[in-house]
Amino acid sequence: MAFGRCVKGKKRAVIRQYELVERVRSYDPKVDESLLNRAYVYSMKAHGTQLRASGDPYFSHPLEVAGILTDMKLDSATIATALLHDVVEDTDAKVEELAEMFGPKIAELVDGVTKLSRIEMQTEHARHAENFRKFVLAMSNDIRVLLVKLADRLHNMRTLHYIKKPEKRRRIAMETLEIYAPLAERIGIRDIKEELEELSFQQIEPEVWETVNARLGYLRDEAGTLVDEVVEELVDTMRAEKVPAQVSGREKRPYSIWRKMESTNAPFEQISDVMAFRIVVEDLPTCYRALGIVHGKWSMVPGRFKDYISTPKRNGYQSLHTTVIGPKRTRIEIQIRTREMHEIAELGVAAHWQYKQSAEKVDGSRYRWIRALLEILENASTPEEFLEHTKLEMFNDQVFCFTPKGDLISLPKGSTPVDFAYAVHTEIGNHCVGAKVNGRLLPLRHQLHNGDQVDILTSKGQEPSPRWENFIVTGKARSAIRRAVRQNQREEYEGLGKTILERAFEAEDLDFSERALTSSLLKLKRQTIEDVFFDVGQGHLSAYDVILAAFPGLKLKEDHKRLPPVTRDWSGDWAKERNGASAIPISGLTPGMAVHLSDCCHPLPGDRIVGILTQGQGVMVHTIDCEELSDFSEAPERWLDLAWQTQEDTPAFFAGRLKLIVLNEMGALANIASLVAKQGGNISNLKITERDHEFYTMLVDVEVRNVRHLIEILTSLRASRGVNSADRLRE
């Protein structure tokens, strides 16, 4: 099947009312003629004298969209939706009016397809993202929304050259290439996908498009009748082996060739398989028989065989792909499939359309990729973030992996066990602690390959780590991790803010109560007490802002207004509770959350510490003798008195930085690593800063429990013969 193209400079005749009905009747004897006639007349009257940029009556656009959908043999309701899809946006028609005249289902479909351009948002990008978010919601309820939208976008792209502003044409083309072409690919409508890509490519890279077209023309002239010769030889070969087959050949499109040139970093001359041939047979066993015949006649190019029959693509596409050295020593690509597979490859979801026999709705959520988009939608905090993750979800090629039970999971290339875990279920991803790939325990950042069997290890105590975002590739995993991190950050900021307020109220001899906080909400312009806690924890509000809002006219104590709180002398073991009720206990530190250990002084449990409240980041923890603290001497309201607090059941490790000068001798590094390990430490980072014939100077980050643990390691290193000096570094 091929979709007709609107040639620049020529205008197609308007499809007449009876012609549209007859088109639908040709494949659906049960056509709802009354519905189509009413929709045709209503849309024509509603659009009235409106004109498109081409100068054509606006009504020609919904007619062309309906015509594209008749080529896909879609039901009367979908064709009627195509006729009406712009009346709500571009005329005075209302959704309620459509529901009354055409029924609630047609009104719901039209509302889902509507571009929603009336939404008021701050930026064009934000409006585009919000439109797409709402479109995905509508599509998840009924997949026909997507089919009409794709046909709408296809006709708009065919007439894009009538828009005068180049920047507007380019913006629409980029949106089409990034969103609508991948959507068409996901539901398997190859011709629409390729035409959208081609029309977008022509606008985005016009010079490249012209160059590739010119090269193709030259190749076409040089090859002469090569395509016909290959087709004839394939037909004769199949006939000789008594294999009934339909054979066809075509050139690859310029955009497909350009993408291959980009991905392989190869010039046009090295892209030799620019011709593709298709063999369509009767049944599945004959596919593999035909493949054997092809490989028996011509040499196969190693690494270019793909079996999409045993492992179909995510959109249901099935076919055998092979590349061989064919006639005239030309490298050609051959696809082998059954008639049913061919129909699905051409029409995708429309190939097995259920509306032909039933008026029941096809639930769009049954398509796995739409479910993935819906989960991204639930987790994304903004429309822009949703759009970003959606592009990740739709753009990448795929790898196929298996669960221990043998279930097939398709993922983008470059995916890791974390991506796999989230593809199975969000909760499995959230509690993932490790993975076995083909029986071997491998890091979570390991990239998966086709055929890998992945067993995810989980723990109820595990939570998603912000560091996972450095190596995951799927939009679903990224959005779920960000949502969990945001939730954890919110909880930590609220807890920190509440503790800060409790200490501040106590220091002012005030009663810390819900009533006092509630009375401050209006003045602070916050909705809930939790919002106040959160903003205090983030540093957007100071504790004394809240106190003055709750107790107007209160005179604060002088030492809280002018001087930083003086941290108390450290005494006793690091695990013992600090003296003084005003010290805020720091426990369960999570980097990147509400409390951060500063890199300037690398504080450890046992150090005397102070916190600096930093707007939007929470608390930065410094040692009391850190030189950076002088920068905050003029902002006493940002200082917090902190105290370490241990959690015996979950001992934490912290990074202590050491400066070592060691002898340049064989085994020196092994000796240092052994000494650290014997003391229960772990080297997490090492950098050699100076070296000569006799000594090496190096910086070593060691994971330790506290200051005492670090001192034990330092003592052990200083006693070693190969270590000239060992000191804790505070810079």
Residue pair 341/286 in contact (Cβ under 8 Å)? The answer is: no
Strands of the 440-442 sheet, one edge to the other: 440-442, 432-437, 454-458
**Number of H-type helices and E-type strands within the chain:** 28, 20
Distance (Å, whole) CA 273 – CA 366:
37
Note every long-range contact of 83-87, with CB atoms under 8 Å and residues 24 or more positions apart, other chains counting: 83/36, 83/39, 83/40, 83/42, 83/43, 84/39, 84/42, 84/43, 84/110, 85/110, 85/113, 85/114, 85/148, 85/152, 86/47, 86/58, 86/61, 86/62, 86/114, 86/152, 87/42, 87/43, 87/46, 87/47
Contacts of 297 (CB under 8 A, 6+ apart): 237
Q: Quote the tokens at residue 454.
A: 């992945």
d(CA 119, CA 142): 22
Contacts with 697 (C-beta within 8 Å, 6 or more apart), sequence order: 659, 660, 661, 688, 689, 690, 691
Going by C-alpha positions, the residue among 616, 624, 668 that lies closest to residue 644 is 624
Decide: residue 410, CB within 10 A, 0-12 exposed, 13-18 middle, 19+ buried: middle
The residues, any chain, with a CB within 8 Å of residue 518's CB and separated by 6 or more, are 529
List 33, 89, 175, 545, catalytic entry: 89
SS3 label, residue 107: helix
- Alpha carbons 347 and 87: distance in angstroms, whole number: 27
Cα Rg, the chain, nearest whole Å: 34
Q: For residue 147, give the nearest of 345, 296, 351 by alpha carbon.
A: 351
**Annotated catalytic residue within 28, 32, 64, 90:** 90
**432-437 and 454-458: which strand pairing?**
antiparallel
Shortest CA distance to 78 belongs to which of 143, 122, 15? 143
CB 441 within 8 A of CB 456: no
What angle do the packed helices 339-347 and 190-204 form, to 10 degrees? 40
Alpha helices per DSSP H over 508-658:
514-524, 529-538, 543-550, 558-562
Specify the DSSP element, H or E, that contains 162.
none
Active site residue 508: no
User: What dihedral do alpha carbons 498, 501, 503, 504 form, nearest 10°?
Assistant: 170
- In what side-by-side order are the strands of the sheet with 595-597? 584-586, 639-644, 609-614, 618-623, 595-597
Nearest alpha-carbon partner for 497 in 546, 537, 531, 547: 537
At 512 the three-state DSSP class reads: coil
- On whether the CB atoms of residues 594 and 539 are closer than 8 A, the answer is no
Greatest Cα pair distance in the chain? 102
Angle at 121 between CA 141 and CA 173, to 5 degrees: 70
Sign of dihedral through CA atoms 550, 552, 554, 557? positive
Q: Measure Cα distances from 359 to 20, 30, 32, 478, 592 in Å.
A: 20, 11, 12, 38, 52
Known catalytic residue at 89: yes
Side-chain-side CA neighbours of residue 456 (13 Å): 25
What positions carry a catalytic annotation? Answer: 89-90
